[in-house]
Amino acid sequence: MTIALDTAISSLMANKRRIGALKSLGMTTVGEALTYYPFRVTDPVPVKPIRSVTVGVKVAFAATVRQMRVVPMNARRGFRVEATLDDADFVGGDGFGGGMPNTTPGVARLVFFSRNKGYTDWMGMRLRAGNVVVIAGEPTVFNNNLQFTHPDVIVVRDVGGRPPEIDSVDEALAKVSRPQPVYHASSRISTDHIHESILGFLRMMAAERAENVESAGEVGNDGGVGNGGSDKTGADVGASGITGLEAEPTPLDASSLIHAIPDILPETVRRQNRLMHRAEAFLAIHRPESVRQFHDGIRTMRFEEAFVAQTALLEARQHAATFDAFPCPSPENADDSFKERFIASLPFSLTAGQQTVIDDIAADMAKTSPMQRLLQGEVGSGKTVVALAAMLQAIDAGHQAVLVAPTQVLAEQHYETIGRMTAKQGIDVLLLTGGMKLAVRRRVLAKAASGEPCIVVATHAAFSKTFQAPNLALAVIDEQHRFGVEQRETLRRKSEHAPHLLVMTATPIPRTAAMTWFGDLDISWLTELPGGRKPIRTIVVPEADGRTMARMFAHIRTRVDAGERAYIVCPRIDEHPEDDGEAAPASKAASKSKRSKAANRAEEYGPIIDDPFDDGGDAEGTAPKPPLHSVEEIVARLAALPQFQGIELATLTGRDDDETKRQVMDDFSSGRTPVLVATTVIEVGVDVPQASCIVIFDADRFGLSQLHQLRGRVGRGGTNSWAFLVSRAEPDSLAAQRLEVIRTSTDGADIAQADIELRGAGDVLGDAQSGGRSSLKLLRVVKDADMIAEARGQAQALLDADPDLRGEVELAGAVLDFTRGNEQFITST
């Protein structure tokens, strides 16, 4: 059979357990296996004689087996294989050579344990007395003897007549001493078996090429290609417990793989950036000859990801410009403009940033091609005012506008705010949600379908087939990361023309990251806070410091008695995770998939700091973390404190229905329940001007961007405000460093930059943008900013010369695959 990157692994392997284990890590095809990259590579293993080894330091050597026995273990089930060997044939003279230094011979002992009798018999056969072997492992001392437990073994000469696993000692030593890639593994499959499987697929590709060449009569019989075409491949051998290194009957080199692994990058781009061919890069990554070669391979594939991603974004931008949009010029007479009258009626002056963005949007909306703009706004920077000005410009031109919010609570708040701001101008402002009564819903749908100028504030209901707005000139998407490109495309089809698009986010995104991931959009930033806002004082409170905790609660009571409000935020709902409606599904999924330790902890703890695809390690080691605080637990604790006697506490979680959420927020705003204990459901869109204090439990377990978002819930009414970050982090730990960043900075972009530098891009931009679930697995949006900019420039030059990529078929296919796999994060149509 022909083996290509899209060939299913299940068609190449007979071992169903191995197939299932690889699938659990996201490998179902050969291509997915080859792009399951190792997170690091080991240092080369030095070749030394036995006399020169250092206990605890991995070493490789050649030796001859002198004695071997298989011993049943009486205390427990299973067997022990013991072998004694020396390197007398390889030191003190030429012997086999094998790169072994000239010194005094030494003796070592090998030990293997297994309950599998077949495994011990197989290992005993390989280690029979007289066999010449090459060993690689970490030495220890047992009973004053030098011992290697479960080392890698390659048989070079077998006295029993079995064919050798490799041709020479030199080859074997070169093989075991070269750097080894290390992969993120699981309880179902080890890094060695992952490596073994990937090399097996590469060998099968190379073997198929050798078979094709031989059958074409280009070369004679070269000794065969092993079992490359059989169902029982070399990649399967270790699944039954065999962990030794396998033979390589077919040479692995780039020339034998190019036929099955075509290059994606154009030849000119590859040469300009001094990159490897794709086949060469895969080989350098999964079977490196040196650490430098490994990193060169990673660099090649990282640039490929950047180039494909930027080509896709530029194509999307190019495609969007082909649509017609309703031009919305500003009226010449300001007295006839809803927008100008609205701005003049504001009880405050616009900041310079707001005025600049409003002018940029006005210029974009006056064009016949659709605007594509991202508005990145600091918490409380006045994005709603900018968005409303844009919507009123559409109304001025006689068209419709829609603002889509991710939740009903946020949609209702926008509806009330916009209705209040435009009350005197007689503009129809409509609310469309999934939970509204049928009669009201029908009236809203009829108004929108009539084409009459109006503003519709909607939830996901705007994407339903029943919502039609033939005169829609502007679509505003709030919190853009909650919506996918397909939903935005749905909005485009609601109108006779493509609507202008304004997407907004308060999630802090570094400028380099925004340029990377929203490269098909024009980007505007609002960094100034409106006049009257006072900075929020941020205080880190060690939870173990009872005196400081008591003072914090006393301060909150003082502010509540002064008529203000306070949020108390917890990461969980219930005390027991299995009963937690928000955490339980993730925990169940983790128990089923048994993925990597970092992935399981991410699901259990939510916004934690690990990014296994970034640097390959846990950010704070492997020590177990204390249980997270829950709303249930904290409410009980607060109710028992003297500081909160006589105060009614309210709770708000994602488990509550919309009516309950609305009632809770009304009671909190009115002061009937001035202390609200909640999960992070309050993170976005909750606006209570009287709120002056927020306490965040387990703050050391949140991402900095999320802490910044939560902190923005207070300080919105012009009063002095405080954010208390309750932490159980050690004083000098990475978590403590992160809290120091949030304590000392109020700039969202700077905080997001520090967040990514300390923990990777995952929580800041979403999993797919850090490589967790998308075709992007190596690209780092901040660290690789220069590479991304270079790739973007070269991609633009290529598209200028070949807009449809007719001359780059492989690149065109990769761009299409990328667009399909990352459509939630490509914001254009």
Q: Would the pLDDT of 513 be above 50? A: yes
Out of 253-267, 354-368, 810-824, pick the least confident: 810-824
Per-residue pLDDT reduced to its tens digit, 657-705: 878 888 898 899 999 999 999 998 887 667 788 999 999 999 998 878 7
Q: Indicate the pairing of strand 40-41 with strand 181-182.
A: antiparallel
Q: Which of 506 and 531 is assigned the larger pLDDT?
A: 506
Q: How many CB atoms lie within 10 A of CB 104?
A: 12
Note the pLDDT of residue 100.
Answer: 59
Q: For residue 511, what pLDDT is reported?
A: 63
pLDDT tens for each residue of 549-569: 999 999 999 999 999 999 999
Higher-pLDDT residue of 283, 817 = 283
**Confidence at residue 214, expressed as pLDDT on a 0 to 100 scale:** 54
Rg (CA), the chain: 32
CA angle 756, 759, 764 (to 5 degrees): 45
Q: Please answer whether residues 389 and 359 qualify as being in contact, where contact means their C-beta atoms are separated by less than 8 angstroms.
A: no
Of 78-82, 443-447, 661-665, which gets the smallest average pLDDT?
661-665
Query: Please, what's the b/e burial string for 696-717 (b: 16 or more CB within 10 A of its CB; e: otherwise)?
Result: bbbbbbbbbbbbbbbbbbbbbb
Domain edges within the chain: 50-177, 334-526, 536-589+625-732
Q: Which of 595, 601, 693, 682 is nearest to 647 (CA)?
A: 693
Instruction: Give 561: exposed, middle or buried? Use CB within 10 Å, 0-12, 13-18, 19+.
Output: exposed
Reported as a pLDDT band with limits 50, 70 and 90, residue 269 is: very high
Residue 429 has pLDDT above 70, yes or no: yes
Task: Quickly state the pLDDT bin for 423 (edges 50, 70, 90).
Answer: confident
Residues whose CB falls within 8 Å of the CB of residue 562, separated by 6 or more in sequence, listed in order:
none
Q: Tell me if the domain spanning 334-526 has CATH number 3.10.129.10.
A: no
Torsion of CA 445, 451, 455, 459, to 10 degrees: 40
Q: Quick: pLDDT tens for 173-226.
A: 988 888 989 999 888 898 888 998 999 999 999 887 656 655 554 433 333 223
Q: Is the pLDDT of residue 607 over 60?
A: no
Question: pLDDT band at 407, cuts 50/70/90?
Answer: confident
Check pLDDT > 80 for residue 233: no
Q: 567 near 695, Cβ under 8 Å?
A: yes
Q: What is the mean predicted confidence (pLDDT) over 84-104?
A: 70
Q: Point out the least confidently predicted range of 36-45, 575-584, 613-622.
A: 613-622
Choices 2.40.50.140, 2.40.50.220, 3.40.50.300, 3.20.20.70: CATH for 50-177: 2.40.50.140
pLDDT (tens digit per residue) in 702-740: 878 788 888 888 887 778 999 999 999 888 888 888 899
Whether 514 has a pLDDT exceeding 70, the answer reads no
Closest by CA to 778, choosing from 274, 310, 308, 306, is: 306
Contacts of 683 (CB under 8 A, 6+ apart): 706, 709, 710, 713
pLDDT on residue 434: 84
Mean pLDDT value across the chain: 80
Structure tokens at 589: 């999924």
Q: What is the mean pLDDT of residues 35-63?
A: 92
pLDDT confidence of residue 439: 92
Query: What number is the average pLDDT over the span 315-330?
Result: 85
For residue 211, what pLDDT is reported? 61
State the pLDDT at residue 661: 85
Higher pLDDT, 490 or 318: 318
Q: How confident is the model at residue 137 (pLDDT cuts 50, 70, 90)?
A: very high
Report whether pLDDT(256) > 80: yes
* pLDDT computed for residue 73 by the predictor: 85
Give the separation between CA 374 and CA 355, rounded to whole angstroms: 16
Q: Any idea which residue has 């899209």 for tokens?
A: 6
Q: Residues 764-792: pLDDT tens digits?
A: 343 333 333 445 788 876 678 789 889 98
Q: Which residue carries 């980007």 as its tokens?
A: 523
Question: How long, in residues, is the chain?
Answer: 829
The stretch 73-100 carries a mean pLDDT of: 76
Mean pLDDT of all residues in 793-817: 93
pTM: 0.65
Residue 282 has pLDDT above 70, yes or no: yes
Distance of alpha carbon 665 from alpha carbon 233, whole angstroms: 62
Q: How far apart are CA 154 and CA 823, in angstroms?
A: 47
Q: Find tokens 């007689």 and name the residue.
A: 426
**Is 536-589+625-732 a CATH 3.40.50.300 domain?**
yes
What pLDDT, on a 0 to 100 scale, did the predictor assign at position 194? 94
Highest mean pLDDT among 316-325, 347-356, 503-512, 621-630: 347-356
DSSP code per residue over 14-55:
--HHHHHHHHHTT--BHHHHHTS--SEEPPPPPB--GGG--T
Q: What is the pLDDT of residues 360-395, one digit of tens each?
A: 999 999 999 999 888 887 666 788 899 999 999 999
Domains 334-526 and 536-589+625-732 share a fold: yes
Please state the rounded mean pLDDT for residues 58-80. Answer: 90
